[in-house]
Amino acid sequence: FHEEDTLLHDPILHMLSLAFADGAFRNEFSSPEQIYEMVVPAHMDRVKIPWKEEWRGRPIFRDVDGLKVSLEKALKYCKTRGDLIRLGRALGYAKRLEFYDIRRGSGKKLNEALTPEERNKAMGHRLGDSSTFVRYYMTDFIGADTQAI
């Protein structure tokens, strides 16, 4: 996997943190460093890290039950959305922060790094052209001086 330069933006790090906190790995890792030190064998393209059987069907992102994190209750979109909006306000964003903003930003980065076909596949766009991306993800702001063209 790709290690993100800014750890805050690294989704793998967040997943590993939750898995360590839950004790979800079948292997008895004593630290995250042990995972990062693993080597992918030359004949393979990945290393699978198995979960304990009791964790295989549980949601990764879970809601709370009273003062504890629920083992079975998945975190709901509407609750998380409210938390994200409050986070945006706390950060001082003028515009309300929504999950769609994160998806749009991800789409922009994918558009810069991939072919249109790869981008559409990664984003789940099924029309076979770029119309969904152009219509919903491309910014309305054009940074070029169109009068000078």
- Of 97, 100, 70, nearest to 86 (Cα)? 97
User: Looking up tokens 């991800």, which residue turns up?
Assistant: 106
Six-digit token string for 1: 């996997």
Q: Which residues pair with 32 in a beta bridge?
A: none
Q: Which residues of the chain have pLDDT under 70?
A: 1-4
Six-digit token string for 9: 């933006």
* 44-51 own/partner pairs: CB under 8 Å, 24+ apart: 49/25, 50/25, 50/26, 51/19, 51/24, 51/25, 51/26
- CA torsion 65-75-25-9 (nearest 10°) is -130
CB 115 within 8 A of CB 125: no
Say what the pLDDT of residue 137 is.
85
CB 27 within 8 A of CB 50: yes
Q: How far apart are CA 20 and CA 30, in angstroms?
A: 9
